Amino acid sequence: MSPQAEIIEWEEASDIFEAFTVFANEPELRWFEKAWKGFIEMGLASYGNDTERHWVLARIITIGIMFNEFCYKAWEEHTDVDSLILELEDSFNLVRLGNMVEKDWLSDDADQSDLFIEAIQYLVYECRSQVFDALCKIFDGVSILFVSLWLSMDESIEIGNYSDEQLDSVLNDCTVDKMCAFDYVIDGMFSLDS
């Protein structure tokens, strides 16, 4: 990365994260903000050229998709990820994006919208492990990451600052949905269909 690196700050990233909100009043934006500011501190929001900028944008989308997948596992809140991705098409240089994707990943007979979705899915696939590892560092481990996600919709609770009672309540009060969501996080927050 060049010494003149730029950063996608929270204010710009929040415009993309808003596409991935699930709940009324968007309380999860607080979780996205905590996560993204951690990415900034770790240097994962910095870029020195257009290709690196596209990778940073892909990290934002990956966080959003992982959050949406968690919400589906935890509360059966379904989102149409392909539609959300299409809303973000203007954020990308399509030629640059096409050059970043392995050609065998893309369909031969897809239209432009489908090709864009496939290209973003490729970037997300490539980013998942790095994004998950970074989230675990930001939230001090897998268990706290799970707690932060589980409590993200409660506006009265500060993201990342949990009492022993809150930790105990979330981690030791098991329901089927909570166990499915916990397994998803423990398994590295991989795609629901992988």
Q: What is the pLDDT of residues 29-60, one digit of tens each?
A: 999 999 999 999 999 999 999 999 999 999 99
Question: In the structure encoding, which two tokens stand for residue 90, read together?
Answer: 């203007």
- Mean local confidence (pLDDT), 3-15: 92
The Cβ-side half-sphere exposure at 60, using a 13 Å CA radius, reads 33
43 class by beta-carbon count within 10 Å (0-12 exposed, 13-18 middle, 19+ buried): exposed
Domain limits, the chain? 6-186
Please answer whether residues 82 and 154 qualify as being in contact, where contact means their C-beta atoms are separated by less than 8 angstroms: no
Q: Can you give the pTM of this predicted structure?
A: 0.94
- pLDDT-based confidence at 3, cuts 50/70/90? low
- pLDDT-based confidence at 193, cuts 50/70/90? low
- Mean local confidence (pLDDT), 128-141: 98
The rounded percent of the chain whose pLDDT value lies above 70 is 96
Does position 10 have pLDDT exceeding 90, yes or no?
Answer: yes
- pLDDT-based confidence at 1, cuts 50/70/90? very low
Tell me which amino acid residue 59 is.
Answer: R
Query: What's the chain's average pLDDT?
Result: 94
Would residue 188 be called left, alpha or beta, if left means φ above 0 and alpha means ψ between -120 and 50 degrees? Answer: left
